[in-house]
Amino acid sequence: MAELKHAPLTLLSAEERAFADEIYKFAQREVAPHVARMDEESKLDSSIIPKLFEMGLMGVEIPEQYHGVEGSFMLATLAVESLARVDPSVAVVVDVQNTLVNNALIRWCNEEQKSRILPKMTSEWVGSYALSEPSSGSDAFALKCRADRVEGGWLLNGTKLWITNGGESSLFIVMANTDFERGYRGITSFIVNRGAPGFTIGKKEDKLGIRASSTTELIFEDCFVADDDVLGEVGKGYKIAIETLNEGRIGIGAQMVGLAQGAFDYAMKYMLERKQFGKPIAEFQGLAFQYAEVATEIEAARLMVYNAARLKDAGRPFLKEAAMAKLYSSNVAERTASMCLEFIGGVGFTKEYPLEKFYRDAKIGKIYEGTSNMQLDTIAKLLRAEYK
């Protein structure tokens, strides 16, 4: 990997810069030695998650009173980006934990729930966000998972698919419909613990990329959830889903920027060392113009992601900016990984070098937490509203 001096400097305070540097050093030291094996085995090394908790990376925004870091959304964004430079699989574990699960818990848990749950999220519990189903992907509110009222709580029945961290999680935020006659206004969020009767972790997906990150099916068969584990209000789950995913897209943007930077770091180091016709291949104009353009695109994507994160932290509207950041950064990551693989030639096509993995990992950026077409649709709707 490239030396730390190549890390981005864009728009960071001294504190943020130091934080990003520390996480990148941690990733190089604790994650990098395991990356190839984790990818091959499609499983996280057992040492990784405990160390993520020790570093405070699993509770970046959680308040100190619950043993969290009480940092900004920007810090969570930087953590994801820094980890993704080394392994996007580990980055997405931290991303989902912070931008989706913890974000929802902080905003919608009542005080009793916060006291009971948040300290666990900072010390030992990995979380998952369970919205997608076999019949509801981009049309997220077409979900069929149901919750029927019983004494003291609810019975959940249905199946969830594509659930990140499913293999490691102890807590799941599950969306189910309590009243199908009300359509999406019947959707409610439930907190479900691993091991709950009637709840089973199903098939683990065998994926193209981010293979060390588990993606699983969840099965609910008369799974009882007490009233105390309803997140927010009954029938307001759609609001939680929409608002949380808007923030999650910034996290995916950060993952894609980190991935692109990691691929670029490796390619540049190689091109400066590899000599042909008596000089480093980085000095040939045919390559120089190409990697200069790639670097420019990475910087533009980073600026978009940071801008969306800053807007979120400032409490200002950021929906359009988040959609743009995810759309553009996922395009840049895929193009960067492809170009960097070509820059280093035939060896880049082998598993001995990391670029083929970055290339495989990049593809998911255009798909999860809202496909590129859904981002375009969101951006277009907001633009129409602005110009009316």
Residues 267 and 337 occupy one common structural domain = yes
Residues 246 and 345 occupy one common structural domain = yes
Residues 227 and 252 occupy one common structural domain = no
- What is the model's pLDDT at position 11? 79
Q: How many domains does the chain have?
A: 3
Q: For position 250, which CATH number holds?
A: 1.20.140.10
In a domain, 1, yes or no: no
- What is the model's pLDDT at position 138? 84
In a domain, 350, yes or no: yes
Q: For position 163, which CATH number holds?
A: 2.40.110.10
Residues 55 and 141 occupy one common structural domain = no
In a domain, 4, yes or no: no
- What is the model's pLDDT at position 135? 84
Residues 95 and 174 occupy one common structural domain = no
- What is the model's pLDDT at position 4? 43
Q: For position 44, which CATH number holds?
A: 1.10.540.10
Q: Do 175 and 186 meet the contact criterion of CB atoms below 8 Å apart?
A: no
Range of the domain at 39: 9-126
In a domain, 56, yes or no: yes
Residues 299 and 341 occupy one common structural domain = yes
pLDDT, averaged per 10 consecutive residues of the chain (388 residues), comes to 49 92 98 98 98 98 97 98 98 98 98 98 98 87 94 98 97 97 95 97 98 98 98 96 94 98 98 97 97 98 97 96 98 98 96 97 96 97 96
Q: Residues with catalytic annotation? A: 369
DSSP one-letter string for 133-165: BTTBSSSGGG---EEEEETTEEEEEEEEEEEET
The rounded percent of the chain whose pLDDT value lies above 90 is 95
CA–CA separation, 337 and 262 (whole Å):
9
CA–CA separation, 194 and 200 (whole Å):
8
Residues 121 and 96 occupy one common structural domain = yes
Q: How many CB atoms lie within 10 A of CB 363?
A: 16
Q: Do 101 and 128 meet the contact criterion of CB atoms below 8 Å apart?
A: yes
In a domain, 26, yes or no: yes
User: Which of 126, 143, 169 marks a domain boundary?
Assistant: 126
Phi, psi of 141 (to 5 degrees): -85, 10
In a domain, 3, yes or no: no
Residues 248 and 381 occupy one common structural domain = yes
Residues 365 and 256 occupy one common structural domain = yes
- What is the model's pLDDT at position 69? 97
- Which SS3 state, helix, strand or coil, does residue 82 take? helix
Residues 261 and 139 occupy one common structural domain = no
Residues 194 and 297 occupy one common structural domain = no
Residues 216 and 138 occupy one common structural domain = yes
Residues 6 or more apart whose CB falls under 8 angstroms from that of 196 comprise: 223, 224, 225
pLDDT digits (tens, 9 = 90+) for 231-274: 999 999 999 999 999 999 999 999 999 999 999 999 999 999 99
In a domain, 2, yes or no: no
User: Which of 213, 236, 259 marks a domain boundary?
Assistant: 236
Residues 6 or more apart whose CB falls under 8 angstroms from that of 58 comprise: 52, 94, 97, 98, 102, 121, 122, 126
In a domain, 251, yes or no: yes
User: Which of 200, 221, 236 marks a domain boundary?
Assistant: 236
